[in-house]
Amino acid sequence: MSADSTAAAQAGREKQRLSETRSIDYIPLNERHGHPISQFTLWFGGNLQITAIVTGALTVVLGGDVVWSIIGLLVGQIAGAAIMALHAIQGPRLGLPQMITSRMQFGVLGAVIPLVLVCIMYVGFSASGTVLAGQALAKLVHVSNAAGMILFSALIMVIAVLGYRVIHQLGKIASAIGVLAFLYLFITLLSTHDLAAVWQNRHFTPASFLLAVSLASSWQIAFCPYVSDYSRYLPADVSAPRLFSCVFFGTVLGTQASMTLGVLVAAIAGSAFAGNEVGYIVSLGSSATMAMVIYFAICFGKITFTTLNAYGSFMSLSTIVSGFRQQSAISRRGRILFVVLMVSLACAIALISEPAFLKSFTHFLLFLLAFFVPWSAISLTDFYLITRGKVDIPALSRADGRYGRWNWPGIVTYFLGVLVQLPFIDNPIHHGSLTWLFAGNDVSWIIGWVVTALLWLGARGLDRRGTLSHSVYPPA
């Protein structure tokens, strides 16, 4: 058998293999497969879930009305999802996970700076999802909430270890289950409650409106550090507009449906919702059987989303470790170890923090923006305007290569992007001194993205990487 036919046979086996064998390494062209529509089902189904419902409800719980909260959430979805979908295009063009490409801008070791923050984000999101899914699973199998969280975490470990193909299959199933569950919940709300008074309660305030915008945009931007992890197996020449549209509309429609349901439920329930989010949603079921079905839908919806976080945490931790070891891939044993470590940590946090979940999650979600907006601005500006998708992939694993150990222009630009936001942040974790300029409203993420992008364009002359005339790939 010729070398070409042997490679083709190997590529065919890789495409059909249930368990993923690659990690942070480049995906050769002959192993690429799939269609952009899989991105739609992944992000649509992944966002039809309880945490998004709770996030939407926060706009009302924290003082907003129904109409302007829904509008503000939609504005935030569109802004954040546009940035997210632009990152998704990087996956098939580069054939790499999202965060390892940060070595191009920060250096092989310098990329650890945003990576550590990304790992913290993954653990935080996984912990919040484990709280809600654990409550639902506990009711479904009649165990304690703690046992439900542990069982849910064990399931996430298995799926995250299996990897890319299984995650996408889950996205398709989650889309079907999520659509049916949400149709039932919306119909139940409309048929059993008088929503006229809810719709008439309109009291626009800039603070509440911008809170809704920030909640939705931060939700979407939080996906940016791992969105291309799930598009990197697509063919390199896949249509960019089609891929952008599938990711954009999938995540906007799924998230907006969930958050709109959360707004309506919180407005109807009042104080009965906070602290009993899962229980109140399930109480919309008309019978004990339907209640069990809703519990199942909540659990399944959280599986996809929490698996994304576990898989992303494995990718990020692998990138950190491989940077110091100058490796281009991680062994299967390492994959299992990293997944177990990150999911166990998230489960432990969930077990400890359950009573204070809603309040702490709000602060955590909003404060994330300060650290991921500058990274996103640098990554997208570099990809679309400076390097134009050209990358020296072997150099990503060599600290003495083109990208160096520490790329100080990128690192300094990143920290300046964080610092420029601090005066404009209005959050219990940090209250900026210049928020009065915007009537106490938090617009830090907008300022941070624009300023960081401009700074990175200005720093181009100081960048030590040099200019590539074409991409440098390893053999297919």
Domains with residue ranges and CATH for the chain: 33-358 (1.10.4160.10)
pLDDT computed for residue 164 by the predictor: 65
Mean pLDDT of 85-106: 91
356: confidence class by pLDDT, cuts 50, 70, 90 = low
Mean pLDDT of 402-428: 89
Mean pLDDT of 46-67: 86
pLDDT computed for residue 464 by the predictor: 67
CB atoms inside a 10 Å sphere around CB 182: 20
Question: What does the pLDDT look like over 112-139, one tens digit per residue?
Answer: 998 888 888 788 778 878 887 888 888 8
Mean pLDDT of 267-287: 75
pLDDT computed for residue 7 by the predictor: 46
Mean pLDDT of 266-277: 75
Average per-residue pLDDT in the chain?
82
Question: What does the pLDDT look like over 209-246, one tens digit per residue?
Answer: 988 998 898 889 888 888 998 899 899 999 999 999 99
476: confidence class by pLDDT, cuts 50, 70, 90 = low
Asked whether residue 2 carries a pLDDT value surpassing 60, the answer given is: no
pTM, 2 dp: 0.85
**Identity of the highest mean pLDDT range in 140-144, 189-193, 273-277, 434-438:** 140-144
pLDDT above 70: percentage of residues in the chain: 89
